[in-house]
């Protein structure tokens, strides 16, 4: 399997965007079976360059995350990255997970701080654990053998009271400590990404890929819930358009496809190194966006039969 930094370097040299997909571990056995039998084959038929699998809140999916990444790599031959957070983990437990990942041939980790469980207030590190993702990055760099990704926030991280520039300087510390690339939080106004990129690249001399994360809207209520959790802003026009569509989720999905297509097209024209799709394990929207962008393979899967 490849180091993701090498994928970005190779594609950048060929002037091609890197397309990556993010998945979450399904909760139930039935969901997992559907994911491996239906959703994943259809998504991978879209030929992403790599994929990543999230790490459940509080470290709840630790084994499942590694198991899914391992299966994707072995059964589908695609480079996959495991997300890893500091939540509820001591340094020794993190070392065990890194050992386990290395033993499975997982070469790529997204090093995150993670969030406290809902209602638990501010983040508190586990005793003997890490307070910031930068410490996890440094630990993994010293551990050795991994390509390391980090999270970036084009609007600033929701909990950074000193504002977005302070948050972006904290991101610079992750990169200086060894992060090889950055995947951003979802956002809906490309101006936020351009300001973030210019501040880091032109202002702070960051050279690693800063990869926009894009989420296809599935419904008005879903996207309001997501953005409230992560602090991303919804542009006024987008809110008004979704209000107009009301409970018509089918129309909202189509609207989301068109919106994300326009967003991605502008980002790629402006030199973004690729797009990281928050697929939510669904096929249809990501497939159509890639098709509209002219980035889908000639005979993509039939998404209608794969999404729940």
Any contact of residue 39 with ligand FAD (CB under 6 A)? no
Query: Nearest Cα to 112, choosing from 39, 40, 22, 189?
Result: 22
Any contact of residue 67 with ligand FAD (CB under 6 A)? no
Any contact of residue 20 with ligand FAD (CB under 6 A)? no
| Cβ neighbours around 117 below 10 Å, total | 12
Out of 62, 64, 107, 157, point to the residue binding ligand FAD (CB under 6 A).
157
Least Å distance, CB 173 to ligand FAD, is: 6
Q: In angstroms, how far is CA 256 from the centroid of its own chain? A: 18
Any contact of residue 134 with ligand FAD (CB under 6 A)? yes
SS3 content of the chain, % helix, strand, coil (to 5): 50, 15, 40
Least Å distance, CB 213 to ligand FAD, is: 5
DSSP 305: G
Please identify every residue annotated as catalytic.
22
Out of 9, 32, 44, 57, point to the residue binding ligand FAD (CB under 6 A).
57
Alpha-carbon span 207 to 180, nearest angstrom:
9
Least Å distance, CB 223 to ligand FAD, is: 16
Q: Which is nearer to ligand FAD, 64 or 157 (CB)?
A: 157
Q: Which pair of structure tokens corresponds to residue 66?
A: 């590694």
Query: In Å, what is the CA distance from 81 to each residue of 54, 119, 125, 143, 174?
Result: 9, 29, 24, 17, 18
CB within 8 Å of 123: residues ≥ 6 apart: 87, 113, 114, 115, 116, 131, 159
Any contact of residue 185 with ligand FAD (CB under 6 A)? yes
User: Side-chain half-sphere of 157: how many Cα atoms within 13 Å?
Assistant: 19
Binding residues for ligand FAD, how many (CB under 6 A)? 22
Q: Which of residues 270-299 bind ligand FAD (CB under 6 A)?
A: none
Out of 68, 78, 109, 112, point to the residue binding ligand FAD (CB under 6 A).
112
Least Å distance, CB 240 to ligand FAD, is: 27
What's the burial of 226, exposed, middle or buried (CB within 10 Å: 0-12/13-18/19+)? middle
Backbone φ, ψ for residue 255 (5° rounding): -60, -45
Specify the stretch interacting with ligand FAD by CB under 6 A; choose among 49-57, 68-76, 236-244, 293-301: 49-57
Specify the stretch interacting with ligand FAD by CB under 6 A; choose among 31-39, 131-139, 200-208, 256-264: 131-139
Out of 73, 79, 85, 263, point to the residue binding ligand FAD (CB under 6 A).
85
Alpha-carbon span 186 to 279, nearest angstrom:
12
Element (H, E) at 75: none
Any contact of residue 133 with ligand FAD (CB under 6 A)? yes
If DSSP codes are grouped into helix, strand and coil, which group holds residue 185? strand
Q: Which is nearer to ligand FAD, 173 or 245 (CB)?
A: 173
Specify the stretch interacting with ligand FAD by CB under 6 A; choose among 50-58, 198-206, 258-266, 281-289: 50-58
Binding site for ligand FAD (CB under 6 A): 54-55, 57, 83, 85, 112-115, 132-134, 151, 157, 159-160, 167, 170, 174, 183, 185, 213
């Amino acid at each position: 399997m490849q180091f993701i930094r090498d994928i970005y370097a190779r594609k950048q040299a060929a002037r091609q965007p890197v397309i990556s997909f993010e998945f979450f571990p399904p909760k139930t056995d039935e969901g997992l079976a559907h994911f491996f039998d239906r959703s994943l084959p259809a998504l991978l038929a879209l030929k992403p360059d790599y994929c990543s699998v999230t790490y459940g809140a509080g470290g709840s999916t630790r084994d499942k995350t590694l198991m899914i990444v391992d299966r994707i790599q072995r059964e589908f031959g695609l480079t996959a990255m495991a997300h890893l957070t500091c939540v509820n983990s001591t340094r020794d437990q993190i070392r065990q997970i890194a050992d386990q990942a290395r033993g499975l041939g997982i070469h790529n980790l997204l090093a995150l701080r993670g969030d406290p469980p809902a209602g638990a207030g501010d983040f508190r590190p586990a005793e003997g654990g890490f307070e910031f993702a930068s410490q996890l990055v440094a630990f993994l760099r010293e551990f050795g053998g991994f390509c390391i990704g980090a999270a970036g926030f084009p609007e600033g991280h929701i909990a950074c009271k000193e504002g977005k520039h302070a948050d972006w300087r904290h991101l610079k510390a992750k990169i200086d400590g060894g992060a090889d690339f950055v995947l951003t939080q979802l956002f809906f106004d490309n101006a936020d990404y351009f300001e973030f990129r210019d501040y880091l690249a032109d202002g702070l001399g960051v050279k690693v890929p800063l990869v926009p994360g894009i989420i296809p809207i599935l419904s008005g209520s879903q996207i309001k819930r997501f953005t409230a959790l992560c602090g991303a802003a919804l542009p006024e026009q987008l809110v008004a358009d979704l209000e107009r569509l009301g409970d018509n989720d089918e129309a909202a999905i189509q609207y989301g496809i068109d919106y994300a297509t326009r967003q991605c097209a502008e980002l790629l024209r402006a030199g973004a190194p690729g797009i990281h799709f928050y697929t939510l394990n669904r096929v249809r929207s990501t497939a159509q966006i890639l098709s509209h962008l002219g980035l889908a393979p000639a005979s993509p899967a039939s998404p209608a039969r794969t999404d729940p």
